[in-house]
């Protein structure tokens, strides 16, 4: 039965404006690509045979891809015929949810979105929070195949289970109550538990907790909090949410690894296990000193994240303050600050870092400082431009007319309204900082060679690129994934924070 | 209902994890609880002991293994990793280390060289001063191979186990890879000690000998000196070996031979103090004119030999003499002009006369001995014979004569260049013979080299050095250089060198790392050659201003932390165990076994004595 009355444009509009349709096609394509990659990996050209484990994984991905594509065509049909997705189609989401067991995040997140008709930001956050913890739990659980595990492993895993259970319960609660204009009082408890679980590094839980508290305090007086709006807009883009998911997954893993991972595996040489191919005990294989690559990459995430975040935060703060002052006061202040920063800007960033490290020695703190200093001028310029723009607006003039002090005007009225571009810029440059850290370590200028840092791991692996490619591929993929995640997040944030796109 | 089943499933999941958790081995289970040490010795300050390890970034793998082994044995290792040999050496000279990762290759193939300049008081590379060690080195030097094994065993016992001046790591393989599509497989030699002889190298397609250049590789573009006695390091050893001929050579397995040397034959006279060499008459010096090699017409003869060896043993013959300790046993070098004198001397350990030994295999027997080198003519039986006398019976002197520092230079040319007063040598004004600046492209270029060997260096820059064959080097014999033009490309990085070899940019790469053997073997156009070498890596302890300098206990704690089996495992069996720099040459039967209990014991002793 076709509906002859709708035009081609109408069909296009219906498809384009449906989030579920976009997500279904995105996850279907990515999942298909992954299935193909796995299939290629399972093939052993020398013998013509297939590796059974990888082949099974590939087949699972193919099955879920087919399911996803079937659901995609159903959604398409529903949208074209009825202009909305039918309940029966939505229920298929439960089947697709099973894909989480094969670690197929793309289909799982699409399924969560498909299940719920009206998606509030709280629901999205709760789903992502639970997914993050579940993933961390699954990845940490791989340690069980090792000859021995860290001393805190059992406690760590037990805590992770509790957190997973709590957060899954929250998903159900939020799905039921969050859409109501006034939240029930027990949501206070839920919010506090969420904030408590965010100690693991799961910032989704923290955001959700804050969102719930804001809603509880608001008591339905306003249409919603600013955070809620941002999350809602951000969640429209699958890529940026997946980026954020990966970043927070790494953050959570970095923090929980204090309990669940054994540092010795990553740093102590074990000569009986040199260059083992990936297997159950060593999921990503071992390097040329017999150290577990999986543990090394997990511990390396800590350094990469800390260095990436810190070396972005420092120039954001310093550059932001300098830029704000110079933009607000103008004239001589502006001239002095900006010309001084221009001089700094004239020195190539990576050379400056190399010089700083050569002068003060290689250590994590010096690395952060070296990467920070070179980035200050660009942030100052961004901030200055925003402040120049905002300070001419009416509300600033009003504040001035009321006799507010300069500092009050600057930090209460101007800076909060010019911070959005800084946030976007910083998420985009964290990726660069991660790459710079790895480049410097690769050059032997970063952290000490035996410390697990992604650049270090990649450097060791690059010597075995031909004979044992996995030693270079996995750290390389980790770097790519993290940088890509930050870039996607930055893209999404730019859209989410831009009022013009409303 | 739905919620309940979900919750139930989760509980089941968590319960199963908990159950499996019960059978999980934690790290505490596998690490044995420390057993109380026997006896009631007081454990003083059992905190980790700081130790600074100095090394080069090219040895990063070794550094990591040592760091790992030391830190597992209760040391807190501080790394001092330098980018190149120059900065490593300056850190070492400044004393900024407790242990320095060092290596030594005995290029002469005799045990005396493996210890003399390294461990004897006042040796070129020695930071030790121990009379007992000195006495053992001297005693062994004068002994025959049958006798010196026991002496060297005592020496190793003292050096490594009793006093722990060094901690041995491993003995390496020597490996080179070449492009077998370009180079003739049978022409590429690999020898235990001696450098690659370039004159033997040949292309598969012999028609290319005059047209194509053979491209070799080296890591160091700064050449120490092209005067053979003024350098003894990786930058010039191969180059100087091929630019200057010697009285004798080493075979691939370190036997002394006259093949391919300046002498037809050599003989050791009874008593092991007198050595005779009968010289060739078919080598002329080559020089560079208009950047090409030409024959100078000047024959390499007895006066050049005497001049070269006299300046080799004399510390004051040139400023910066780096090799005189190798030749300190030479007492006198002279020409023999009376053929009858050769008849009256018997060879060592035989009944033949020296004359008969020198004549064996020659086309014409000795009819007369001439003092003027231009008069020598082997087909007429007119020869030059050089006699070398040592300060004491010392058969290993022949190994030193096979070393590049005993290369023969032109008396006439060197004397005309080195006109400065050695005592007042001014590095800014005087230009010594063999100064690398005289062959480097640029305003200072003024190539004054006279080469007695198969090849001569025409010019160099930071990218490559260009060599041409000596047109008057044993022409018509099998030792005549085959390929006209050889280029040595300077590539610092090992991975880049291998890449250059695989892409065909260079034809032979010397010094392939163990971890790259698989790559070379996997490339069908490459051939890998390996041979056990005389190279040994060891940790050298600082002897000044550091706790390790005064405390033998601390040194021994480091020594017994070293586990050579693990190092061998890392290099998948491509390294061998070693006790000292002697190990590749003399098998003393000693072995270093890692022992954590001993480490603890010595560390306790060190902490108590502190």
Distance from CA of B26 to the nearest CA of A (A): 5
Interchain proximity B28–A154, CB inside 8 Å: no
ipTM: 0.76
**Nearest chain B residue to A274, by CA:** B570
State the nearest Cα–Cα gap between B512 and chain A, in angstroms.
13
Of residues B559 and B492, more confidently modeled: B559
Q: Span B530-554, mean pLDDT?
A: 91
Contacts of A148 in chain B (CB under 8 A): 24-27, 29-30
Q: Which residues of B315-324 are buried (b: 16+ CB within 10 A; e: fewer)?
A: eebbbebbbb
The lowest-confidence range among A28-37, B5-14, B142-151 is B5-14
Residue to substitute from B2, B15, B26, B82, interface A, most A β-carbons within 10 A: B26
Does residue B39 carry a pLDDT above 50? no
Q: In what order do the strands lie in the sheet with B330-336?
A: B263-268, B274-279, B385-390, B330-336
Rounded to an integer, what distance in angstroms lies between the CA atom of residue B316 and that of residue B324?
Answer: 9
- The pTM for the full model equals 0.80
- Contact list in A for residue B53 (CB cut-off 8 A) is none
Q: Which residues of B touch A141 (CB under 8 A)?
A: 17
Q: What is the pLDDT along chain A (502 residues), one digit of tens a residue?
A: 455 566 888 888 888 878 888 888 888 999 999 999 888 888 887 787 888 888 888 899 999 999 999 999 998 888 888 888 888 888 888 888 888 888 888 888 888 888 887 777 888 889 999 999 999 999 999 888 888 888 889 899 999 999 999 999 999 888 888 777 778 888 889 899 999 999 988 999 998 998 888 888 877 666 666 777 788 888 778 888 889 999 999 999 999 999 999 888 888 888 888 888 888 889 898 988 989 999 999 999 988 888 888 989 999 999 999 999 998 888 888 999 999 999 988 988 888 888 888 888 777 888 888 888 888 999 999 999 989 888 888 888 898 888 888 888 888 888 888 888 888 888 878 878 878 887 887 777 777 788 888 888 888 888 888 888 899 999 999 988 988 998 888 888 878 876 655 4
Mention every residue, 6+ apart, whose C-beta is less than 8 A from residue A422. Answer: A316, A320, A379, A382, A383, A386
Compute φ and ψ for B168, nearest 5 degrees.
-75, 150
Which pLDDT score, from 0 to 100, does residue B51 have?
Answer: 92
For B245-269, give the DSSP string.
--S-EE-TTS-EE-TTSSEEEEEEB
Pairwise CB contact (< 8 Å): B26 & A148 = yes
Residue B18 has pLDDT above 70, yes or no: no
pLDDT at A223: 63
Q: Quick check: B18 and A141 CB within 8 A?
A: no
> Choosing among A164, A261, A450, which should be mutated to test the B contact, i.e. which has the most B CBs within 10 A?
A450
**Is the Cβ pair A165, B570 closer than 8 Å?**
no
Cβ atoms of B434 and B226 within 8 Å: the answer is yes
Place of tokens 């491209």: B215
Residue B65 to residue A289, Cβ atoms within 8 A: yes
Widest Cα–Cα separation across chain A: 82
Residue numbers in A near B569 (CB within 8 A): 271-272, 274
pLDDT confidence of residue B506: 95
Which residues from chain B sit within 8 angstroms of residue A165, using beta carbons?
A: 7, 10, 14
The values of phi and psi at residue B56, to 5°, are: -105, 150
For residues A40 and A46, the answer to whether their CB atoms sit within 8 Å is no
| Distant-in-sequence, close-in-space partners of A66: CB < 8 Å, separation ≥ 6 | none
A210, A195 Cβ separation under 8 angstroms = yes
Q: What is the pLDDT of residue B35?
A: 47
pLDDT tens across B303-326, in order? 999 999 999 999 899 988 888 888
pLDDT over threshold 80, residue B356:
yes
**Chains A & B: contacts with CB separation below 8 Å:** 89
Q: Do A165 and B14 touch (CB under 8 A)?
A: yes
A157 vs B contacts (CB less than 8 Å)? 17, 21
Contact assignment for B27 to A165 by CB distance below 8 Å: no
Residues from chain B that touch A449, judged by Cβ atoms under 8 A, are: 60, 63-64, 81
- Residue of A157, A288, A448 with shortest CB distance to B21: A157
Is A269 close to B566, i.e. CB distance below 8 A?
Answer: yes
Of A164, A271, A448, the CB nearest to B569: A271
Contact A154 B26 (CB under 8 A): yes
Among A114-128, B262-276, B486-500, B572-586, the least confident range? A114-128
Among B18, B72, B516, select the one facing A268 at the smallest CB separation.
B72
Search chain B and give the residue with CA nearest A160.
B14
| Yes or no, beta carbons of A450 and B64 under 8 Å apart | yes
Distance CA B102, CA B118 (A): 11
Contacts of B8 in chain A (CB under 8 A): none
Residues of B in contact with A153 (CB under 8 A): 21, 24, 26
Contacts of B15 in chain A (CB under 8 A): none
Residues of A in contact with B74 (CB under 8 A): none
Chain A residue closest in CA terms to B61: A289
B574-596 tens-digit pLDDT = 899 999 999 988 888 889 999 89
Judge: B24–A172 Cβ closer than 8 Å, yes or no: no
CA distance to partner chain B, nearest, from residue A264 (Å): 9
Measured torsion, CA atoms of residues A9, A10, A16, A20, in degrees rounded to the nearest 10: -150
How would residue B140 be classed by pLDDT, with cut points 50, 70 and 90? confident
Q: What string of DSSP letters covers A369-417?
A: HHHHHHHHHHHHHHHHHHHHHHTTSHHHHHHHHTT--HHHIIIIIIHHH
Q: For residue B75, give how far its alpha carbon lies from the nearest alpha carbon of chain A (Å).
A: 14
Looking at residue B440, the DSSP 8-state letter turns out to be B
Contacts of residue B515 in chain A, CB cutoff 8 Å? 288, 463-464
Contact A269 B65 (CB under 8 A): yes
Q: Kindly determine whether residue B24 and residue A149, on different chains, have CB atoms separated by under 8 Å.
A: yes
Q: Give residue B470's pLDDT band: very low, low, confident or very high (50, 70, 90).
A: very high
Interchain pair B27, A264: CB under 8 A: yes
Subunit contact B572:A467, Cβ cutoff 8 A: no
Cβ-based contacts of A289 with chain B (< 8 Å): 61, 64-65, 68, 570
CA distance from start to end of chain B: 73
* Residue contact B515–A448, C-beta within 8 A: no
- Residues B497 and B518 sit within 8 Å (Cβ to Cβ): no
Is residue B354 within 8 A of residue B342, CB to CB? The reply is yes
CB contact under 8 A, B14 and A161: yes
Partner residue facing B25 (CB), from A149, A164, A271: A149
What does the longest C-alpha to C-alpha distance in chain B come to? Answer: 120
Q: What is the structure's pLDDT at B38?
A: 43
A39 vs A56, B156, B311, B571, CA distance in Å? 9, 58, 72, 34
Best mutation target among A357, A467, A469 (most B Cβ atoms within 10 Å) is A467
For chain A, the straight-line distance linking the first and the last C-alpha, in angstroms and rounded, comes to 37
Q: Do B515 and A144 touch (CB under 8 A)?
A: no
Hey, are the CB atoms on B25 and A450 less than 8 Å from each other? no
Closest chain A residue to the Cα of B23, Cα to Cα: A144
- Cα separation, A125 vs A142, in Å, equals 26
Interface of A with B (CB under 8 A): 141, 144, 147-151, 153-154, 157-158, 161, 164-165, 168-169, 172, 262, 264, 268-269, 271-272, 274, 288-289, 444, 448-450, 463-464, 466-467
Closest CA to B581 of B92, B89, B106, B140: B106
Residues in chain B: 610
Q: Select the residue of A151, A288, A466 nearest B26 (Cβ to Cβ).
A: A151
Residue of A nearest to B7 (CA): A165
């Amino acid at each position: 039965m076709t509906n002859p009355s709708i035009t081609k444009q109408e069909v296009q509009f219906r498809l384009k404006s449906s989030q579920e349709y976009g997500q279904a096609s995105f996850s279907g394509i990515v999942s298909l690509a992954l299935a193909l990659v796995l299939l290629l990996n399972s093939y052993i050209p020398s013998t013509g045979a297939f590796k059974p484990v990888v082949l099974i994984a590939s087949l699972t991905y193919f099955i879920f891809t087919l399911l996803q594509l079937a659901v995609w065509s159903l959604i398409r049909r529903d949208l074209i015929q009825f202009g909305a997705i039918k309940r029966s189609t939505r229920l298929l989401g439960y089947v697709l949810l099973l894909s989480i067991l094969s670690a197929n995040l793309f289909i799982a997140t699409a399924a969560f979105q498909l299940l719920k008709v009206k998606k509030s930001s709280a629901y999205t956050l709760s789903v992502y929070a639970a997914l993050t913890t579940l993933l961390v739990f699954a990845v940490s659980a791989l340690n069980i195949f090792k000859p021995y595990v860290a001393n805190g492993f059992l406690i760590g895993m037990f805590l992770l289970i509790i957190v997973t259970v709590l957060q899954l319960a929250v998903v159900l609660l939020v799905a039921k109550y969050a859409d109501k204009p006034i939240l029930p009082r027990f949501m206070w408890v839920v919010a506090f538990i969420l904030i408590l679980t965010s100690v693991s590094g799961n910032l989704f839980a923290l955001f959700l907790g804050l969102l719930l508290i804001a809603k509880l305090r608001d008591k339905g007086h306003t249409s919603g909090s600013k955070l809620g709006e941002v999350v809602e807009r951000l969640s429209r883009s699958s890529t940026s949410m997946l980026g954020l998911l990966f970043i927070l997954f790494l953050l959570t893993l970095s923090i929980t690894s204090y309990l669940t991972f054994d540092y010795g595996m990553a740093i102590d040489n074990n000569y009986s296990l040199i260059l083992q191919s990936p297997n159950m005990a060593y999921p990503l294989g071992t390097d040329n000193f017999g150290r577990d690559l999986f543990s090394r990459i997990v511990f390396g995430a800590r350094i990469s994240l800390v260095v990436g975040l810190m070396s972005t935060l420092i120039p954001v703060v310093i550059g932001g303050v300098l830029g704000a002052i110079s933009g607000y006061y103008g004239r001589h202040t502006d001239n002095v600050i900006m010309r001084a920063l221009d001089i700094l800007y004239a020195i190539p960033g990576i050379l400056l870092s190399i010089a700083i490290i050569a002068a003060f020695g290689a250590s994590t703190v010096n690395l952060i400082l070296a990467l920070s200093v070179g980035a200050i001028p660009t942030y100052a310029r961004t901030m200055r431009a925003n402040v120049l723009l905002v300070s001419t607006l009416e509300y600033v003039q009003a504040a001035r007319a009321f006799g507010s002090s300069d500092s009050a005007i600057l930090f209460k009225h101007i800076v909060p309204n010019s911070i959005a571009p800084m946030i976007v810029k910083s998420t985009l440059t964290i990726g660069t900082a991660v790459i710079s850290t790895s480049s410097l370590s690769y050059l032997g200028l970063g952290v000490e060679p035996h410390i697990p840092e992604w650049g270090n791991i990649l450097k060791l692996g690059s010597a075995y690129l031909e004979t044992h490619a996995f030693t270079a591929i996995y750290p390389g993929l980790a770097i790519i994934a993290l940088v890509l995640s930050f870039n996607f997040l930055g893209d999404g944030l730019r859209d989410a924070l831009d009022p013009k796109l409303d | 209902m739905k919620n309940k089943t979900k919750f139930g499933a989760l509980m089941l999941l968590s319960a199963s994890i908990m159950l499996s958790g019960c059978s999980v081995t934690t790290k505490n289970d596998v690490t044995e609880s420390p057993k109380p040490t026997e006896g009631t010795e007081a454990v003083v300050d059992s905190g980790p002991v700081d130790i600074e390890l100095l090394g080069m970034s090219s040895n990063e793998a070794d550094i990591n293994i040592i760091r790992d082994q030391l830190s597992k044995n209760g040391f807190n290792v501080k790394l001092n990793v330098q980018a190149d040999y120059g900065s490593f050496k300056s850190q070492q000279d400044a004393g900024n280390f407790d242990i320095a990762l060092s290596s030594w290759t005995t290029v002469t193939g005799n045990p005396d060289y493996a210890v003399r300049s390294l461990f004897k008081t006042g040796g070129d590379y020695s930071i030790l001063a121990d009379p007992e060690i000195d006495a053992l080195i001297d005693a062994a030097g004068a002994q025959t191979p049958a006798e010196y094994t026991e002496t060297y065993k005592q020496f190793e016992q003292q050096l490594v186990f009793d006093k722990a001046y060094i901690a041995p790591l491993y003995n390496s393989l020597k490996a080179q890879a070449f492009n077998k599509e370009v180079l003739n497989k049978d022409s590429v030699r690999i020898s235990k000690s001696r450098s690659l002889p370039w004159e033997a190298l040949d292309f598969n397609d012999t028609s290319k000998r005059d047209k194509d250049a053979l491209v070799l590789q080296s890591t160091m573009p700064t050449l120490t000196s092209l005067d053979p006695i003024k350098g003894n390091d990786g930058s010039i050893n191969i180059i100087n070996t091929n630019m200057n001929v010697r009285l004798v050579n080493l075979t691939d397995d370190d036997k002394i031979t006259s093949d391919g040397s300046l002498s037809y034959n050599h003989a050791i006279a009874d008593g092991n103090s007198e050595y005779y060499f009968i010289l060739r008459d078919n080598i002329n010096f080559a020089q560079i004119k208009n950047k090409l090699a030409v024959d100078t017409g000047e024959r390499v003869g007895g006066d050049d030999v005497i001049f070269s060896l006299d300046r080799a043993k004399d510390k004051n013959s040139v400023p910066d003499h780096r090799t005189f300790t190798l030749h300190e046993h030479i007492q006198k070098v002279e020409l023999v002009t009376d053929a009858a004198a050769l008849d009256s001397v018997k060879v060592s350990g035989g009944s033949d006369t020296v004359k008969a030994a020198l004549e064996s295999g020659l086309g014409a027997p000795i009819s007369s001995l001439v003092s003027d080198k231009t008069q020598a003519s082997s087909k007429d039986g007119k020869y030059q014979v050089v006699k070398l006398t040592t300060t004491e019976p010392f058969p290993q002197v022949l190994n030193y004569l096979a070393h590049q520092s005993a290369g023969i230079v032109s008396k006439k040319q060197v004397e005309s260049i080195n006109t400065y007063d050695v005592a007042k040598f001014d590095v800014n004004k005087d230009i010594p013979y063999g100064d690398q600046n005289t062959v480097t492209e640029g305003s200072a270029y003024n190539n004054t080299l006279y080469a007695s060997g198969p090849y001569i260096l025409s010019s160099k820059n930071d990218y490559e050095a260009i060599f041409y064959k000596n047109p008057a080097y044993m022409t018509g014999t099998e030792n005549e250089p085959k390929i006209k033009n050889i280029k040595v490309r300077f590539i610092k990085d090992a991975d880049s060198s291998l890449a250059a070899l695989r892409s065909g940019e260079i034809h032979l790469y010397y010094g392939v790392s163990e971890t790259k053997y698989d790559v070379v073997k996997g490339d069908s156009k490459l051939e890998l050659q390996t041979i056990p070498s005389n190279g040994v890596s060891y940790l050298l302890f600082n002897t000044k201003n550091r706790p390790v300098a005064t405390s033998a206990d601390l040194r021994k704690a480091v020594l017994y932390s070293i586990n050579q089996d693990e190092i061998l495992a890392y290099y998948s069996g491509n390294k061998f165990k070693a006790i000292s720099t002697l190990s590749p040459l003399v098998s003393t039967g000693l072995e270093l076994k890692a022992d954590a209990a001993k480490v603890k014991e010595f560390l306790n002793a060190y902490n108590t004595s502190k």
